[in-house]
Structure 1
């Protein structure tokens, strides 16, 4: 790990800074709301206005609500409330006992309590005057007036859940959310980016073990994890290369004893010599096919932009020139990133198998949203279910005669699946309804 990574901030400090910065920003917005939007001033209701509304039975402005009830009000009230009740009773020409003014003194202080005007004092005496100068009610209150029929008329402020001041505060809350959201989104994406990078690298490693290593950038934890991931990829490649080299060496070294066997068989009787030469020839072909398979799987893959339909047309044309009946169904061009020689060998193997066992082959290319599907079908006898499950195993042959004229070495379909998986896709076989075999290869775009 080089020094630039050591000097960068650790990931936990990034997360701590994001959380701290978000909290500070929210607090700044709240402080701005406190400065910009002062608390609302309470609405004052004079006793004469309350008396007039009580007589009319309704408030044209909608600020006060008038209702009738048979439940008498609470008998306990404080002196200022009794003084205001006396003023309202005087305006209505009613006995003082017929009017009760009740305020909410028992709940928590409200904005109205903050702006509650002090009780005026009489000049020089230092005692409250008999009647307040500002004979008004505000905040939460209820004025209850007894009617001659015994029913009580209640006048109280209309409950407004969404006053203009509350709506402004809700609007400020929405503005604060919109202001914080882009900052939180950007920082969250920055923190989550390394996780997405590792996910993409793991997927790329599964498709191509020789993919380029991860860049060692970011916080120290991310850089160290990327370096460990690159070391793991290097060890996997070495492991595969060592095993592949061992197989190639064994296959190469088998040629020498086979050559000695063929020389010794020259002095054997004709029937033994002919049978032995046939076995040696088959073993030599298998060894050659195995070495070619190993070379194909270990060669450096160079992917390029290509047209899959043009590639399929080339394979179909070559097979037709050799006497096979091959048809490519029409369709649009399909552009993709792939290894052209490997895909051409994949198509050639599938077409060759179809022509060999059924005499005909039909190629169909379909493009989906994120994948392209290659289907090669024939009208032959198909395969039994047990053979379908093992068809892609190396050296497996569904044709049991072991004749070189009716079957290959058993590495064609193994190579098809290896190429498909090297591109991030897969290959499968299935019997067609009626008769015939369908080989399907899916490749990501």
Structure 2
């Protein structure tokens, strides 16, 4: 890739230099425009002229820096106007890249006025100038040439535009070649955040890009193996705990009734926790196929099922919202949030909208809310906001953790806040 970028830059420089060489050959030597003192006087007197003059009036003008050329022209214009030379001022612009020359007045002889008025009017002025004449009322009339862009300047300007147009395709190709791999990696990173099981990046292009793509694919594979290994170990431990629990239940058959009933209750709680853990691992580690789906239809399915069971659940009407996701996982996520609201508040209100490229599902209830210090802990596995040890009222503590895991696996998130009027609001955001 380095050699390709370097070669492309060399080609751009070569094309630019070639265009400059063509300019050197094609451009003609610029010639200064010639004016006469008579033309300047006619412009001051308001007579029509084909030359580019602009005339203005002012109460005061600055006296220009003295030059022999300016003094000779002032003498000729004063002669042609028939006025003292003090009433005439002539100045010439100094090029930006040229420093103005300082003259010694004593070393230059004074100019001689032309022999006649016509001879004075015929004195030639080369290039741009500014001539000022003080009228009888003390005002200054000034005539200035406005030939800023001569033909040769227009030629050079168009040549530079043509040069930029000639180099633009090479610059575009270079920018595209550099930006495309970066964009590919950005898309792959975003896709990995939404779906860890997404297809790896296609390896291709220059060796550096291909090597970086291969390294990214290896990183993705290692992350998936790491998550899978941890889930497998936890799942195996949870599954194998069922055997010793079963043996404990058999050995308690000979125990006194009071002891046996208490121990059997603890065993049932442990079995419920194991079942919930296995279900949590299955929901968070198993990546089902993702396809476009209507999130509103999925929400209607969940709320209708709960409504058929007599649960007070409502879904606000709205437009369809289409996302790409795994239907069973999203359905389980929404079911967990609604059941959590029903368990602690007795009712749930669900709304679904699309805003700023995000699908937003909000589950609200009118329950007692959550203690402020527990807001950040409710998504921790096995954490229960209900402080009792009763599984029937407090649950296992994996519902919200599972819901957030599903949302984050789809590139979204779940947040919970206390409502101002009482109760809590669980907000799910998913990319559309």
Distance in 1 separating the partners of 2:415 and 2:198? 25
1:287–1:87 CA distance, 2 compared to 1 (3 A): closer
Q: 2:414 aligns with which of 427, 439, 445?
A: 427
Aligned partner of 2:347 in structure 1 is 360
Distance in 2 separating the partners of 1:422 and 1:302? 13
Q: 2:9 aligns with which of 8, 13, 19?
A: 19
Q: How does 1:37-436 map to 2 (within 5 A)?
A: 37-45=27-35, 49-50=36-37, 53=40, 60-61=48-49, 62=51, 138-139=126-127, 158=145, 160-436=147-423
Aligned partner of 2:114 in structure 1 is none
Q: Would the aligned equivalents of 1:373 and 1:441 in 2 still touch at CA under 8 Å? A: yes
Distance in 2 separating the partners of 1:326 and 1:56? 91
Distance in 2 separating the partners of 1:72 and 1:345? 88
Distance in 1 separating the partners of 2:194 and 2:292? 17
Q: Would the aligned equivalents of 1:241 and 1:298 in 2 still touch at CA under 8 Å? A: yes
Give the deviation of 1:89 after TM superposition. Answer: 10
Give the deviation of 1:104 after TM superposition. Answer: 10
| Partner SS, residue 379 of structure 2 | coil
Q: Would the aligned equivalents of 1:319 and 1:351 in 2 still touch at CA under 8 Å? A: no
Q: Would the aligned equivalents of 1:304 and 1:338 in 2 still touch at CA under 8 Å? A: yes
1:233–1:166 CA distance, 2 compared to 1 (3 A): same
Give the deviation of 1:142 after TM superposition. Answer: 9.2
Residue-by-residue CA offset, 1:235-278 (whole Å, 9 max, x unaligned): 11111111111111111121121111111111111111000000
| Partner SS, residue 395 of structure 2 | coil
Q: CA RMSD in A?
A: 4.0
Distance in 1 separating the partners of 2:323 and 2:95? 76
Distance in 1 separating the partners of 2:334 and 2:67? 98
Residue-by-residue CA offset, 1:132-187 (whole Å, 9 max, x unaligned): xx985534689999x9x9x9x99997364344443443344344434433442342
| Partner SS, residue 393 of structure 2 | coil
Q: Would the aligned equivalents of 1:251 and 1:291 in 2 still touch at CA under 8 Å? A: yes
1:281–1:36 CA distance, 2 compared to 1 (3 A): same
1:346–1:143 CA distance, 2 compared to 1 (3 A): closer
1:85–1:236 CA distance, 2 compared to 1 (3 A): closer
Residue-by-residue CA offset, 1:419-439 (whole Å, 9 max, x unaligned): 000001100111111211111
Count of aligned pairs between the two proteins: 402
| Partner SS, residue 405 of structure 1 | helix
Q: Return the TM-score normalized by structure 1.
A: 0.77
Query: Unmatched 5+ residue regions in structure 1?
Result: 1-9, 110-133
Q: Would the aligned equivalents of 2:37 and 2:124 in 1 still touch at CA under 8 Å? A: no
